[in-house]
Structure 1
Amino acid sequence: MSLFKAREWWSCQVGSGEQFDYGCLKVGSFTEDLNNKVVVGSHQGILRIYSPSSSQSDSITNNHATDLLLEKNLGMPIVQIEIGKFVSTSSVNQIAILFSHKLAVYDYNEQSGMTEHGRQIDIELNYEHNLNRPTFNMCKGQFGSGGKGNKDSANFEYICVQTLDGVLFVFEHERQSMVKSLPDTYLPGPICYLSRSDAIATVSSNHHLECYKYQTLAISSGVDHGTSVNKNARRKGLDVDSSLSVSQPSKQVLPEWSFNLGECALGIQTTQRMKNTGQTIVVLGERNLFCLHDNGQLIFMSKFEYNPSTFIVYNSEVNNNVSQSDPSNIGVRYIIGTHSHTLFIAQDAHIRWAAYVDFVPVQIEVCTIQDIRGMICTLSETGLLQCCYLGTDAVSTSIPSIMPSTIINVQDAEEQLAKLNKQIKQAMNDPTLVVKRKANAQVIIQIDDTNQYSTTDDTRFQRSDIDSTVPLLPLNLRVKCNEAIQNVLLTVHVHSPLCAQPNEIRMGHIGGIAAIGTATVAFWMRDDYTPWNLEATFTVSYNTLSDNTCHTIQKTYKLPLKLVARSFQQPPSAATAGQCKITLGANKPVVDLNTVFPELSSGEYNQQQGLTTRFYGSDEYVSILASSKSQKYRFQSDSLSSIWLFCHSLIERLSTRSIIEFEFGDPLPLNDYFLLIDHHYELRVECEQINSTLDICSKQFRAIQKRLLNKFKDKTPTLLDNLDVLLENTNQQILALADRYEQCRYELNRCSHDLSCATKLICLLLKISVNLSNENTQLLNAILSPVISDDNEQGWEETVDLAVNYALRTVLSRSKSTDLGSLPNAIGNSTANIDINKLKKRLQTLCERLEKGGSLVSSNSTTDRSLSPDSSYSSTSLSTRKEKPIASNHYNHRENNNDDDDDQLPNGDYENAFRLLPSTNARKNYNNDDDDNN
């Protein structure tokens, strides 16, 4: 952003809802008056001519009704406008307008009246040429002058039109003189005429600046350039059709010289650095500006740190009168407009001035208006026309003041920082403190649950023996705001296997309280994976009209269990007893499961003591049992991952009803958890091996193809040496590997969801068993992350191994030494190089140390927390259970446990079943115990 702003002298809005681009603006004079007129044409076909005026008595932005001299609808989109002497019988300038399929030249007629507003301005068609190809741009010049000019027509200019397919049409006033197709032109580029060398310069499709001599183009063209091919040209209303007529003997033309730009060109213009010297070509690229001699030699190149939009090369009167001994005034002067609303005034490769404008200019012109030379005229894409000049009006944006350079005492700064942190913590814990915020746009997301389920079969279930029909829930969304906002975008994110359609909704403009953005989003279960998270996140991004800054707001919504699970129409005793059992004790009487899970109740039997359910797309049943005598809840299933969502939902729903405390007295099911880790790791290794084998087979397939191609190209037929058989076998092997890889990826995704559920369940059971604090629980979930991504090179095993190893060597270390030693470097290593046994051992050690009273919070954080009003942190992270083998054989434990007896808690503390206070010797035993797994 520039420090100074361009001083606005005159501005107006050209039309309403019209579009403009480069070529739609031109300034010039049509009479002997030196003041320029501003000619603007839109893509909607409306031509306007302005004569800007300003007086000191007016406001800052002077825009008179009389400034608009002419407004005429020409009926066709205007591509480009040029002003010059295009009629051989006239000595004044005309307006050449390039339409999509036509070139027309108009005379500027002005009839003066008795008063100022009595002037009548009109344009009259002089002649036109119809084209059978879509046009792109045009340039003017004295084509065929040989670089010295034509004495008979020194004041006249011809027009060269370039079409979209790279064909050049040259018109000498009323007649067409040449038609030539440029070689290898797939996309047209900017074009200009070099008067001193009588050549045409353009940018080709391969980003090369090429120069063609006009004489070479005329000789190689298939049209007789010496005689008129359009003798009945339309003049004063007579019709003619200028069609492309390239005869067969048209020759291939080569450029005079070529220069590799290496990027797309936005514009090309010519100028003279010194009087009586050769011309200079200036090319504006996307990231660079090139300045070359007319023979193709590079003078200088300027690299941008901004994104340019347009430019203009202007001639200074000083350049033509300066002596060659003054090199400071010799150079190319130009103005560059950028997408950051800035005008850069430069000389050669040096920026002399920068000014801020209110819009992104698509075209810039330098003109003389009301005897004011050097006026800058700019046009925006939406039609904002502005005449400005350079000045020193500062931009309204304030610049932050620079603090004086003083010597900072580090010790005093640390003390002040600690004091401020303490005040912030105290203020955050003070409920009476109300933070007053500035009233901005308040966006509210309202979610209305219709509770009207329908069914859909848009699923990707792999098993054919399972019904693929699942329920679909539509949610009605409403976005409200207390003020007008724009560019409102609503995005919906859910975790696999859930799906949301549509997941992106563009609401556009929402204005005021009355306007509300509405949408309907449907949710259903698409894949047959085990769901681990039912939260849907709604994000709204918008721009405020006041400062046009982007803001975002989020809201989460818990989707019902009915979307992913169904009730089983049999009593719980009829379901198969699961191998995995999780038993939770509570300090409150058990609650009727019909009221806890109403969406899973079938209503055909008394489900107060238990119910059975299963996920859609799965054949594993989950039983939830309740024992009123012992106040226990039991979850049993064939897999550990299926229990997580129901266990979490039970605890969450019971906790919202009343204050309740749970206890888990059994050993953690680490054996089942480790089986999932092993299976996930094996699938990762298998996918990597299949991918490597597939890469080898692909290389072999390409090598065989090359061998066969060489044999087919050989003029002497030879035997194929069974290469065709080898090619077919390799192709079959590639197809088989691709099918196996696809199946392995599906199994890996399914196992990843199971591992996520099991990880969440292990963290939950560990929190309940040792009564972890909220801070310790957050750190535990960060170490054992449930988010598993198999697309990255570094997988879940590597990430968790590093995090667990770091925790064991720091906050859970037995010794007070801070030396971390050598951590395992798993980044960039192959999946097969991971020691999965060490990972399982470290996970077991982590759980054991937390069981013995370990804390994941560092001592510094504990010290800081002790300063706060709530100083009960040190006691909440200790274990409430007696020491037991946490990683004991879970299958042996099931054999010794009586599954039918729900009145006892296996391996639990019967005397202190719900005692949540820690033992006083827990921390002492933890510090004195010797651990060999460090």
Structure 2
Amino acid sequence: MSLFKTNEWWRTQCGVNESFDKHSLLITPLFGADRKDIIVIGSHSGYLRIYSPFSQWIEETKSPSGYKSSDLIVETQISDCIIDMKAGKFVSGSSDTRLAILTPKKLVIYSIILSQGSVEHGNHCDLEIAYEHLLPRFPASLTTGPFGGVRGRDFLCIQCLDGTLLFYEQETPTFSLVLRNRLLPEPIVYISRNDIFVTPSSSWILECYRYKSMAEFGSKDRSEESKNLEPDWTYNIGEAVLDIDAVILSSFEVGILILGEKSLYCLKDNCVTLKYSKRLEYKALCFQPFVIEPDGKLMVLVIADTNTLMIYEGTTLRWSAQLPFTPVAVTRAHFQHLDGVIVILSEEGQLEACYLGSEPSLFIAPPLHRRGYDYVAAEDELIELRKLAKKNKASGNQLSDVTMDAELIISVTVSADLEPCPRGNQDDSKDDSEDRNLMCRITIELSTYMTLRDVQVCVDVSKPFVADKDRHVITNLCDRHVLRAMIYPTMDLPAISSDVRITASYETADHGSLRVLQKTTQLPLKMMLRACPPENTSTFTATIKCSESLVAFSQLFPEFTGEVQRKNWNVLGLQHLQTGSVVTIVSGATSNRYRVQSNDGLSMALVVQQLMNRLKDKATGNFTTAIAQNHIQLIQSQMEAHYHSRQKVDKIASEIKLLSTQLRNIERRMLRAVRERNTRSLGTTGLPFLLESTYRAIFALLDDLAIARVERERAGHGLRCVMRLLLLLLRLNVNDDKYAMLEAAIGFDPQLCDELDWEEIADVSLSAFLRSTSRKSTSHLDTKPTTLTKMTSTKEFSKLKKHLVHAIERLDSCREADIVENEQLEAAGDHASS
């Protein structure tokens, strides 16, 4: 991390949910050098934005004026994706600067017409298509320049994914050329002083081609070609090239700057003489060379993966500064009121023009005191502080930053009126779909008394519910802002929780510190359950015993009390809207017990959670429960289902990997046959048939993989349900410390990762939990660190199940025989009373 930070001169956000790369940023004087530079941004979503920054220094506030709405002069969608952009003299008979936009299907040349002061807020700009070229191949990058030494005109060169170069002399296509040793598109630069193209090959060798040789070779008859065009000069770089650029050092010298994965190189324009090289001790993301006039000093801007801007003069690091985000493109610009501005663009569309400052902002460590320390007194003080922190945590009097709570106030309103969801399953009947697919509106109001930057609000709900827009981004929040979202179900899975977590993160404008706030609210229970007749028989049962008198269902679940509740005052039936499973709650007639029962153990987690939360609010006294044997069997069956679904996904992925290797070998053989111009027909070799059959096998396995991943997701949700039910029941019997340890060990969501998932993490966590709760002395325990490795054998999985059973038995304080006997007596009394 650098000691200094860059200072913001001008900043904005380019769109929402769009992506950008190093070709998405272009700085050019579109309207003439007297109007300074213009920023052109093209996103992968096809949006073209042109900015004319007019920020200036304000003496009263000692800060720049920043972004204004009039700075955006063009915003339009022109294509599905903008791959590259260049500016130049692309129209014959005209010396005006035009804009070339490279899209997946065509190359479009735009004329930009500026009408000054035509509207109230500023200038008005229009785009007109001058001409366009349809592309025969998928493009990767665009290079422009006065090819062949022409004057007053710029030609275009498009590099395709297969290594083909397409050349256009403005409106006229001229020739195409295939370079040798090309596996992927590589950076390419044109040097007009020598009329050469410089580009690296896939062998990490820098190659130089004269345009005259390329034109002569490309215009030959294809039947006369015997081999690829040989380069004029080569230089072995020895590492992958991230980017390449050229700068004019003097009237007789041009420097070629190459950014490699590990080094920065500067070569002369003959591509055989190395001026200097600099070994980089970090991973570089992008760079931009420039020359300071009139001294002629060569400077290079390099962006490190630590969000640090490095400025080199030759091999000497002259300055470094911390950036506010991770850029994918960097360049310099000259604006109306400031020259030499550094412009950076992030992958998410954060665009900033900044300048270098000299005010340090990091914490300076105090000097060390070499006097002796009283370690005994320090240990006593540490013990007292831990006791105080534990006491505050137990009493709920946790320390909070009052200033942070006042900076941003979050108010969440959940609509009690549910609406039919148009996103319901089409296979369901109309009546059933209206009952099952309900959506709820939530309103999030943000209030602040100061300016907050980069406010991000995330809405998180548990499956099967999702939010139509789970992430909101506000660039600058000054007063009040209202966000709205819809919560609706997407899958026929049992609901596990009604919590809606709102997480907001932001940066303060004054200090730039990052703050995070979180607020939790509840969805209406009618969105997940509805009242139904209770069921008498059940497979899974959970009994909750209360030391005080019971609370009536009309107070616990008032939204479900109706005709069914009036007939059975001590029995309540609740049905899941998504799965149709029925959960019955029975209150004891002769004892202070609640019995929750169902034929579907996965559906009990939500009802047990709601019952326990409402009992804590309405009832007094202590609650206890026990873990029955069928609960453990249910947990083990869900663990096996999740583990087998993982193995199935891994098996299909391995088969796809083998077929992909076979496919690459077939394609390599076919390409070799085509290049060698074999006299035999390609069809007689059997390679096309083998290629087609391999493709069909891969596509079939891809369909199977999609189905297997859905099954794995459903198995993961089932595993989450049974673990949630287990933790809810154990919560009543164990102390806070042991419960927190067990919840951290098994209470997390399955990760849906290929290598490490719930089984591997839970196995290590349960082993540590059993060691920490063992009655043996710690000297006899194995304290070696455990490494996370993928679980592949059935023996390891069986050991995981045993560890979980041991943990449950160690924490469960009630005896199962007693609880089963009491359940039978209570059930007999309940049936007699009903």
Give the TM-score normalised by structure 2: 0.67
Q: Which residue of 2 aligns with 1:200?
A: 196
Q: Which residue of 2 aligns with 1:100?
A: 99
Aligned pair in 2 of structure 1 residues 22, 378: CA closer, same or farther (>3 Å)? same
Q: Letter of the 1:200 partner, please give it.
A: I
1:310 lines up with 2:285 in the alignment = no
Task: Report if the CA contact (8 A) 1:490-1:505 is conserved.
Answer: yes
Aligned pair in 2 of structure 1 residues 267, 747: CA closer, same or farther (>3 Å)? closer
Q: Which residue of 1 aligns with 2:137?
A: none
Alignment partner of 2:543 out of 559, 564, 583: 583
Q: Greater Rg, structure 1 or structure 2?
A: 1
Q: Which residue of 1 aligns with 2:457?
A: 490
Task: Report if the CA contact (8 A) 1:346-1:353 is conserved.
Answer: no
Please give the secondary structure, in 1, of the residue aligned with 2:781: coil
Q: Letter of the 1:472 partner, please give it.
A: M
Q: Which residue of 1 aligns with 2:494?
A: 530
Segments of structure 1 that go 5 or more residues without pairing to the other structure are 29-36, 53-57, 64-72, 83-94, 105-129, 145-156, 223-245, 320-331, 367-374, 852-878, 905-934
Q: Which residue of 1 aligns with 2:247?
A: 269
For 1:26-175, list aligned pairs within 5 A.
40=37, 98-100=97-99, 158=151, 161-165=154-158
For residue 284 of structure 1, report the CA deviation from its aligned partner. 4.6
Aligned pair in 2 of structure 1 residues 903, 774: CA closer, same or farther (>3 Å)? farther
Percent identity over paired residues = 17
Alignment partner of 1:448 out of 388, 391, 413: 413
> Matched residues in 1 for 2:627 and 2:340: separation?
77
Aligned pair in 2 of structure 1 residues 415, 97: CA closer, same or farther (>3 Å)? farther
Q: Which residue of 2 aligns with 1:670?
A: 629
Task: Report if the CA contact (8 A) 1:179-1:221 is conserved.
Answer: no
Alignment partner of 1:351 out of 293, 298, 317: 317
Q: Which residue of 1 aligns with 2:744?
A: 782
Q: Letter of the 1:634 partner, please give it.
A: R
Q: Letter of the 2:545 partner, please give it.
A: G
Q: Which residue of 1 aligns with 2:29?
A: 24
Alignment partner of 1:559 out of 517, 523, 527: 523
Task: Report if the CA contact (8 A) 2:642-2:716 is conserved.
Answer: no
1:764 lines up with 2:728 in the alignment = yes
Task: Report if the CA contact (8 A) 1:542-1:552 is conserved.
Answer: yes
Deviations 1:326-365 (A, max 9, x none): xxxxxx7435375968572513x23356689999996559
Q: Letter of the 2:289 partner, please give it.
A: F
For residue 529 of structure 1, report the CA deviation from its aligned partner. 2.0
> Matched residues in 1 for 2:822 and 2:457: separation?
50
For residue 622 of structure 1, report the CA deviation from its aligned partner. 1.6
Alignment partner of 1:900 out of 824, 828, 831: 828
Residue range with higher mean Cα deviation, 288-297 or 824-833? 824-833
Task: Report if the CA contact (8 A) 2:245-2:257 is conserved.
Answer: yes
> Matched residues in 2 for 1:283 and 1:2: separation?
24
Task: Report if the CA contact (8 A) 2:144-2:190 is conserved.
Answer: yes
Q: Which residue of 2 aligns with 1:110?
A: none
Please give the secondary structure, in 2, of the residue aligned with 1:406: coil
1:480 lines up with 2:458 in the alignment = no
> Matched residues in 2 for 1:190 and 1:751: separation?
52
Q: Letter of the 1:450 partner, please give it.
A: S
Task: Report if the CA contact (8 A) 2:540-2:630 is conserved.
Answer: no
After superposition, the CA RMSD in angstroms is 6.0
Task: Report if the CA contact (8 A) 1:200-1:212 is conserved.
Answer: yes
Q: Letter of the 1:523 partner, please give it.
A: I
Q: Which residue of 1 aligns with 2:17?
A: none
For residue 216 of structure 1, report the CA deviation from its aligned partner. 4.7
Aligned pair in 2 of structure 1 residues 579, 38: CA closer, same or farther (>3 Å)? closer
Deviations 1:478-522 (A, max 9, x none): 22222233433322111112222222233444322xx32231x22
Q: How many residues align?
A: 713
For residue 563 of structure 1, report the CA deviation from its aligned partner. 1.5
Segments of structure 2 that go 5 or more residues without pairing to the other structure are 15-23, 41-48, 65-73, 75-84, 101-108, 112-129, 135-140, 159-164, 180-184, 346-350
Please give the secondary structure, in 2, of the residue aligned with 1:900: helix
Aligned pair in 2 of structure 1 residues 38, 762: CA closer, same or farther (>3 Å)? closer
Q: Which residue of 2 aligns with 1:609?
A: 570
Q: Letter of the 1:256 partner, please give it.
A: D
For residue 830 of structure 1, report the CA deviation from its aligned partner. 0.2
Q: Letter of the 2:450 partner, please give it.
A: E
Task: Report if the CA contact (8 A) 2:730-2:739 is conserved.
Answer: no
> Matched residues in 2 for 1:482 and 1:517: separation?
15
Please give the secondary structure, in 1, of the residue aligned with 2:473: strand
Q: Letter of the 1:580 partner, please give it.
A: F
For residue 899 of structure 1, report the CA deviation from its aligned partner. 2.8
Q: Letter of the 1:808 partner, please give it.
A: L
> Matched residues in 2 for 1:734 and 1:835: separation?
32
Task: Report if the CA contact (8 A) 1:24-1:81 is conserved.
Answer: no
> Matched residues in 1 for 2:751 and 2:324: separation?
46
1:661 lines up with 2:622 in the alignment = yes
Task: Report if the CA contact (8 A) 1:20-1:41 is conserved.
Answer: no
Q: Letter of the 1:268 partner, please give it.
A: A
For 1:825-844, list aligned pairs within 5 A.
827-836=789-798, 838-844=799-805
For residue 620 of structure 1, report the CA deviation from its aligned partner. 3.3
Please give the secondary structure, in 2, of the residue aligned with 1:901: helix
> Matched residues in 1 for 2:746 and 2:191: separation?
65
Task: Report if the CA contact (8 A) 1:187-1:204 is conserved.
Answer: yes
Deviations 1:548-596 (A, max 9, x none): 444332211122321121211x3x3xx3411323332323332221231
> Matched residues in 2 for 1:542 and 1:430: separation?
30
Please give the secondary structure, in 1, of the residue aligned with 2:728: helix
Q: Letter of the 2:582 partner, please give it.
A: Y
1:692 lines up with 2:651 in the alignment = yes
Q: Letter of the 2:727 partner, please give it.
A: C
For residue 681 of structure 1, report the CA deviation from its aligned partner. 1.1
Task: Report if the CA contact (8 A) 2:635-2:723 is conserved.
Answer: no
Larger % of helix: which?
2
Residue range with higher mean Cα deviation, 635-644 or 743-752? 743-752
Aligned pair in 2 of structure 1 residues 250, 444: CA closer, same or farther (>3 Å)? farther
Q: Letter of the 1:452 partner, please give it.
A: D
> Matched residues in 2 for 1:60 and 1:511: separation?
17
> Matched residues in 2 for 1:696 and 1:589: separation?
61
Give the TM-score normalised by structure 1: 0.61
Task: Report if the CA contact (8 A) 2:645-2:715 is conserved.
Answer: no
Deviations 1:772-799 (A, max 9, x none): 2222322232234263445453444444
